[in-house]
Amino acid sequence: IIGNITGPISTASSLMEPVKFYKALKKNPEEADAFLTFVTTQLIRFARAQIEAGADVISVADPSGTGEILGPKLFERYTGKYLNLFYDAIRDTQVGTICHICGQMKSVYKEMDKVKSDALSFDSIVPMRQARMNLKDRVLMGNVSTYALEFGDPARVAILTREIGKSSTDIIAPACGLGTKSPIVNIQAILKTVREDAKLHA
C-alpha cells in the first residue's frame, strides 16, 4: 500500500498565490522558512496517519518544486531542505519512501542526489540513462509516459517499458501517476512486459 503526499513546495504554493510565494523564496526567506516549516510539519502528521492506517510506502510528489522553476540554488535551499525534513521525520517508521519530481533534471542532479528518499522517481521527459549516469548509487524509478498510458495502446506501452528496462531503471512504473481514463489493459501491459522480459533473462 503506497500512501501519497503532495510535497512541501507544491502544498505551500497552493495555499497562497503562487507568484507571491515564489517571490517570497528570494525576497523573504525567513518568512518562507517559517511557512514551509509549518506546512511540512502538517505533511509529516498526515504521512504518519497514513502509516498508522497501513501504508507500507510513502510517496512524495512535489511538481511545483522543480529545478526548472527554482533553479539549482533555490531547489537545494527549499525543495531539498524540506523534503529531507519530511523524510528524516518519518525514518523511525521504517516504511519505504519515494520522491517524485516533475520536469527536466539535468540542472539539479547533484542537488537531487542529496534527497534522502529510498527511491527517486522521474517524469517521462527525463532520459533514464542520463539519470543513471548522474545518480549512480540511487534506486531509480519510472518512467513510462502517463500520456501513453492513457492515450496509447498496449503495444506502445510495451515498447516504452522495454526501453526503460534497458536503461538501468530499478523500478519500472508510470512517470507521473495515472490518468483517470487510462485503460486497464495499458497498465497491465507494463507488468506483462516486465514478466516476459524477466523470463527471457532468467
Query: Is the pLDDT reported for residue 202 higher than 80?
Result: no
Mean pLDDT of 46-52: 99
Mean pLDDT of 124-142: 95
CA dist., res. 51 & res. 45, Å (int): 10
pLDDT of residue 71: 95
Mean pLDDT of 166-187: 92
CA dist., res. 7 & res. 12, Å (int): 8
For residue 11, what are the contacts with CB-CB under 8 A and spacing of at least 6? 39, 43
**42 falls in which pLDDT band (50, 70, 90)?**
very high
Query: Is the pLDDT reported for residue 200 higher than 90?
Result: no
pLDDT digits (tens, 9 = 90+) for 63-100: 999 999 999 999 999 999 999 999 999 999 999 999 99
Query: Is the pLDDT reported for residue 201 higher than 80?
Result: no
**198 falls in which pLDDT band (50, 70, 90)?**
confident
SS3 content of the chain, % helix, strand, coil (to 5): 60, 15, 25
Total residues belonging to the chain: 202
Quote the cell numbers at residue 80. Answer: 531539498
Round the average pLDDT of the chain to a whole number and report it.
96
**112 falls in which pLDDT band (50, 70, 90)?**
very high
